[in-house]
């Protein structure tokens, strides 16, 4: 059996800080699917992630392994090249960066092969940072459409809204409910997965993907290119942002050009600045360089899993928040808030775990032993 292995490196994981702290890159959501789900559909083969040991990702035994840089987007021509690789062959880009290889030996984290038997591939998309993902999210939504269960739009009796633009650009799965909303599909597709609820007065301008069981509250304004993950609850104004599974931005306030991890909660009135008052370049914290680096003229919030903000929090332009922090200081936030911060103090680990468990119970789930182990590792290693 041949399997596809999505490969992280220490460097690539730092590039994706803080989203990568609690997951392999293969489990990052953008477009309609996670990286692993997209590769599984595109290559039609089993997929697993090779990442840091503390994440305890299961490894698969196979006859051969197609190993792919998890930051590489699976365009159709690339997938065909991956499937044609033979044992010992490597794909590199024009800068000799290793993009993929095939081996009959099980790969090892952070160990790359040589490039003696390499083929150069061009026209590839490498998404190296959360900012790259946000810039590419519209294209990802369009690419992912072909992997949805049905190719045609599904209208059911619970879709009672004004739809602007071509009907084929609206995809509504069975069990989704939409009431008295305005959905503009002229600007891109709108995907609403099964069990999602779009309440009355909502305005959606595609391309937008709303995940399974998500709730969009009354009067929300959602612009493209936005991805709302599974079981999220959202409201207010959202633009060009990604909220991963089980997170909430349930009330008024603005979220733009932002990426929010799983199990996060933005308190009522929380707003994010995505443009500086000067109109100048936004500095964003880099875990690779351990300093702020320029990130273009628009950059909102990057927030790791399990972090939360108090009511009326004002996030500074280009703010980066680590995993499992509670943001509740007055005034504009610092531009980098590390993991395990409680206001202006350190977050005691057992209290942090207790509070995560409380939040998970609000959505009918329990904290797992694996989550406790990951959070413990992060706290002890100052990740």
Q: Rounded distance, CA 1 to CA 88, Å?
A: 17
**Sign for the pseudo-dihedral over CA of 303, 360, 340, 129:** negative
The 3-class SS string of 208-258 reads: EEECCCCEECCCCEEECCEEECCCCEECCEEECCEECCCCEECCCCEEECC
- CATH 3.90.550 domain locations along the chain: 2-128
243 to each of 144, 211, 225, 231, 363, how far by Cα in Å? 17, 10, 12, 10, 16
- CATH 2.160.10.10 domain locations along the chain: 146-380
Find the angle CA(50)-CA(43)-CA(47) to the nearest 5 degrees. 25
> Which CATH architecture fits 2-128?
Alpha-Beta Complex (3.90)
Backbone angles phi, psi at 28, to 5 degrees: -80, 130
Q: Report residue 204 as tokens.
A: 């959606």
> Tokens 């005691």 belong to which residue?
348
pLDDT digit string, tens, across residues 36-65: 999 999 999 999 999 999 999 998 888 999
pLDDT digit string, tens, across residues 203-215: 999 999 999 999 9
| Domain at 146-380: CATH code | 2.160.10.10
Q: What sections of the chain are H helices per DSSP?
A: 10-15, 35-43, 76-84, 130-144, 349-362, 369-380
Q: Rounded distance, CA 229 to CA 214, Å?
A: 7
Query: What are residue 23's DSSP bridge partners?
Result: none
Phi-psi region of 114 (alpha: psi -120 to 50; beta: other; left: phi over 0): beta
Helix (H, G, I), strand (E, B) or coil at 21: helix
Contact of 256 with 274, CB cutoff 8 Å: yes
What pLDDT does 152 receive?
A: 45
What pLDDT does 203 receive?
A: 97
DSSP at 175: T
What pLDDT does 383 receive?
A: 62
Find the angle CA(148)-CA(261)-CA(332) to the nearest 5 degrees. 135
The 3-class SS string of 267-296 reads: CCCCEECCCCCCCCCCEEEECCCCEEEECC
Q: What sections of 16-56 are H helices per DSSP?
A: 35-43
What pLDDT does 151 receive?
A: 45
Contact of 311 with 327, CB cutoff 8 Å: no
CA 200, 201, 207, 213: dihedral to nearest 10 degrees? -30
pLDDT under 50 in the chain at which residues? 151-153, 157
> Tokens 């273009």 belong to which residue?
296
């Amino acid at each position: 059996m041949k399997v596809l292995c999505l490969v992280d490196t220490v460097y690539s994981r730092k590039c994706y800080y803080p989203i990568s702290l609690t997951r392999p890159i293969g489990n990052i959501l953008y477009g309609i699917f996670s990286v692993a789900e997209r590769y599984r559909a595109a290559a039609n083969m089993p997929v697993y992630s090779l990442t840091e040991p503390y994440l305890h990702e299961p490894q698969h035994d196979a006859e051969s392994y197609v190993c792919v840089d998890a930051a590489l987007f699976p365009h159709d021509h690339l997938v065909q090249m991956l499937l044609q690789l033979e044992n010992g062959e490597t794909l590199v880009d024009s800068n000799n960066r290793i993009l993929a290889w095939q081996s009959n030996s099980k790969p090892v984290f952070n160990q790359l092969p040589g490039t003696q038997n390499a083929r150069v591939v061009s026209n590839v998309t490498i998404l190296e940072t959360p900012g790259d993902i946000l810039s590419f999210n519209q294209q990802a939504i369009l690419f992912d459409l072909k992997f949805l269960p049905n190719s045609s739009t599904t209208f059911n009796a619970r879709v009672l809204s004004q739809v602007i633009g071509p009907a084929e650009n609206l995809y509504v799965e069975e069990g989704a409910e939409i009431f008295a909303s305005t959905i503009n599909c002229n600007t891109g597709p709108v995907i609403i997965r099964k069990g999602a609820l779009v309440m009355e007065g909502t305005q959606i301008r595609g391309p937008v993907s709303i995940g399974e069981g998500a709730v969009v509250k009354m009067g929300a304004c959602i612009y493209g290119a936005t991805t709302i993950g599974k079981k999220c609850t959202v409201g207010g104004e959202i633009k060009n942002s990604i909220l991963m599974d089980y997170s909430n931005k349930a009330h008024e306030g603005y979220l733009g050009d932002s990426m929010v991890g799983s199990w996060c909660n933005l308190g009522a009135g929380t707003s994010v600045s995505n443009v500086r008052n000067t109109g100048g370049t936004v500095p964003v914290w880099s875990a690779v360089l351990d300093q702020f680096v320029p990130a273009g003229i628009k950059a909102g919030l990057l927030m790791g899993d399990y972090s939360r903000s108090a009511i009326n929090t004002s996030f500074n332009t280009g703010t980066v928040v680590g995993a499992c922090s509670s943001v509740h200081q007055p005034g504009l936030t610092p531009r980098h808030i590390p993991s395990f911060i409680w206001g202006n103090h350190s977050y005691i680990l057992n209290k942090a775990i207790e509070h995560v468990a409380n939040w998970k119970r609000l959505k009918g789930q329990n904290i797992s032993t694996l989550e406790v182990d990951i959070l413990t590792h992060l706290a002890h290693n100052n990740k």
